[in-house]
Structure 1
Amino acid sequence: MDRRNLPIAMIASRVRLEERLILQALERRGVRHEHVDPRKLTVLLKGDRPPYRAALMREVSHSRAVSVAATLHALGVPTLNRPAVLDVCGDKLRTTLALRGAGLPVPEAAVAWGAASALDAMSEIGFPVVAKPVTGSWGHLTVRVHDREQGRAIIEHRAALPGPQQHVFYLQEHIDKPGRDIKVYVAGDRVVCAIYKNAVDDWRTNTAIGGAATPCPVTAELSALAVATAHAVGGGFLGVDLLVDKQDRLYANEVNHTPEFHGAIDATGADVAGFIVDWAVAELEAAEAAARA
């Protein structure tokens, strides 16, 4: 069977606006596709290759996304993004290690595995310091800590939580920024568009908690850092978070492997869903041509 005749599976348990737009972009381009809810998916590990040309990963649950992608990849179904990329991007510590390993400018950071050492690390970095969970999105449980007393309270709270990942204390230098961060959408080697995420009634800029999206000019410096950041975690279609300080210095911060983009569409008018589909089909066709050669 010519696998090019098989559908591309869009893996998503929740079909948000972004997923609907991707499905519409696939339809407009005449690309065979199928929405697959991973909660209803069964894969026989001794069976045949699953009947998909590829899997476009849009699953919001990080653990489920990594598990599904790893399974499909092992059984011969290409996944976009790749399992290793999902794995790294879902962990802020591993992302930082990848960015530092690539020599990119990043905020000073520390990690500790005990309450006392975490408090000492806060003092070492210098207050204010940002405490983040190593997993999670939308700015949840991210706290700006102003002094040792507040730091002790935050650490004691985290230590009392049942999840073991809450006991990995990831701490980051607080960048004195002009009330906004930058989100850059990267597809392969190309920047699709960029937005400012402007803080509204909160020091955090996440649009999921009320931050406002406005267009951000794509300069050569911004484009180069965003693409290098995406490559450092393995590449693909990614949302790259950059920080900018009051001296306009840029820092690579985090990378989202399943970024939301409706705010970027509203702010810039870019056809982000179309870019995702065009990038995915081009990647797939190149891989298939190489396999036939």
Structure 2
Amino acid sequence: MDSVAPHLAVLASRVRFEEKSIMGALERRGAGFEHLDPRSLFVADGSAWTGPALVLNREVGHFRALYAASALESAGVTVLNSAAATHLSGDKWHTSAALLERGLPTPRTALAMTTEAALEALDDIGYPAVIKPLVGSWGRLVTRVTDRAVATAVLEHVAALPSPQSHVIYLQEQVPKADRDLRVLVVGGEALGATYRRGEEWRTNVARGAVSEYCPLGPVHAKLAVAAAEAVGADIAGVDLIEDVDGHLTVLEVNDRVEFRGFQEAHGSRVDVADAIAAHLVARAVARTAARGET
């Protein structure tokens, strides 16, 4: 048990395996915490915040997670990950821009403001390519296009979507790879480990039936994953890497509210993800208390 027992909160509208595991790890470390449901959360402008000074953001919905973090930060709360990190990592274009700014390898990417411009961009990137929604997870609405005719048909459907944000089109080359990609978990600037994710289709999302397998973490993978997490400002992140047929690594995505059940099952007793997150939360809370002279 830690000598200092800070009071924390876990922000989540759904308490899944990951949230239960983190809460259990906090209990074992003697850290007082509460479950903060964003569906009943409000932060009034100018009102004093009387809740925990440090909040772990595990809200599953991107926009609610983003605005909850922003509202809490406006009240002086430390949120992990920060609103800025959620903003960058939750939007695929902002993630790509942050990775490119740091000079990190990532697939060729374009952002088009119209379907006509998207077709021209795809001609430049080349086929096969992938059309993705700016915000989304679990591989939903991610579409592989193999030629201009397929792209034209897909983009007609995109143009018919009701959300104006959907009409801003994110395009990416499809990197030739083996039947797997890699996920590296990063907590507090340290890579905890890696898994291979294998699936029967080209999208290797565990939510779509892909299987996580233990992957020995090499220094190159670890360094790149940590750099990618730092690029979006995330304390806690799942970094998706692709290794092409020549062995070159690229960063595909950075997930700020990462699910880790498959990762944990693949690693077994080698790594305790929830405890690593709990330890980082406690350390950040203690450091905040010391820096501000709080009690």
TM superposition score category, shorter chain reference: over 0.9
Shift of 1:46: 2.6
Identical-residue share of aligned pairs (%)? 44
Q: C-alpha displacement at 1:5, in angstroms? A: 6.8
**Alignment map for 1:122-271 (pairs within 5 Å):** 122-200=122-200, 202-269=201-268, 270-271=271-272
The number of residue pairs the alignment matches comes to: 289
CA contact under 8 A between 2:53 and 2:78: conserved in structure 1?
yes
Could you list the runs of 5+ residues in structure 1 that have no partner in the other structure?
Answer: none
Amino acid at match of 1:120: E
RMSD: 1.4
Check conservation: 1:177, 1:245, Cα contact below 8 A: yes
2:234–2:256: 8 Å Cα contact kept in structure 1? no
After TM superposition, the score normalised by the length of structure 1 is 0.96
Instruction: Confirm or deny: 8 A CA contact 1:5 1:53 kept in the other structure.
Output: no
| Superposition deviation, residue 261 in structure 1 | 0.2
Structure 2: how far apart are the matches of 1:45 and 1:32? Answer: 27
SS at match of 1:50: coil
Task: Give secondary structure in 2 for the equivalent of 1:65.
Answer: helix
The alpha-carbon deviation at position 57 of structure 1 amounts to 0.4
Show the 5 A alignment for 1:58-137: 58-137=58-137
| Aligned amino acid, residue 212 of structure 2 | A
Contact 1:181 1:197 in 2 (8 A): yes
Residue 186 of structure 1 contacts residue 236 of structure 1 at CA under 8 Å; is this kept in 2?
A: yes
Distance 2:282 2:243 in 1: 33
SS at match of 1:258: coil
Q: Aligned to 1:172, what secondary structure does the other structure show?
A: strand
Over residues 107-142 of structure 1, what are the superposed CA-to-partner deviations in whole Å (9 max), with x where a residue is unaligned? 111110101110111111000011111100000011
Superposed displacement of residue 287, structure 1: 2.8
Q: Measure, in 2, the Cα distance between the counterparts of 1:136 and 1:235.
A: 18
Distance 1:276 1:175 in 2: 32
**Helix, strand or coil: the match of 1:123?**
helix
Unmatched runs of 5 consecutive residues or more in structure 2: none
Distance (Å, rounded) in 1 between the aligned partners of 2:221 and 2:75 = 38
Give the match for residue 280 of structure 2. Answer: 279
Write the distance in 1 (CA, Å) between the matches of 2:6 and 2:89: 29
Cα deviation for residue 6 of structure 1 reads 6.1
Tell me how far apart the structure 2 counterparts of residues 216 and 5 of structure 1 sit (CA, whole Å). Answer: 35
Deviations 1:72-113 (A, max 9, x none): 111111111111001111100000000000000111111101
Contact 1:194 1:215 survives alignment (8 Å): yes
Once the 2 structures are TM-superposed, how far is the Cα of residue 253 of structure 1 from its aligned partner? 1.3
Q: In structure 1, what is the equivalent of residue 290 of structure 2? A: 289
Q: Distance in 1 between matches of 2:42 and 2:189?
A: 34
Q: What is the DSSP-based 3-state SS (H/G/I as helix, E as strand, rest coil) of the residue aligned with 1:105? A: coil
Answer whether contact 2:6 2:282 (CA < 8 A) is retained.
no
Q: Which amino acid aligns with 1:162?
A: P
Give the TM-score normalised by structure 2.
0.95
CA contact (8 A) 1:11 1:58 kept: yes
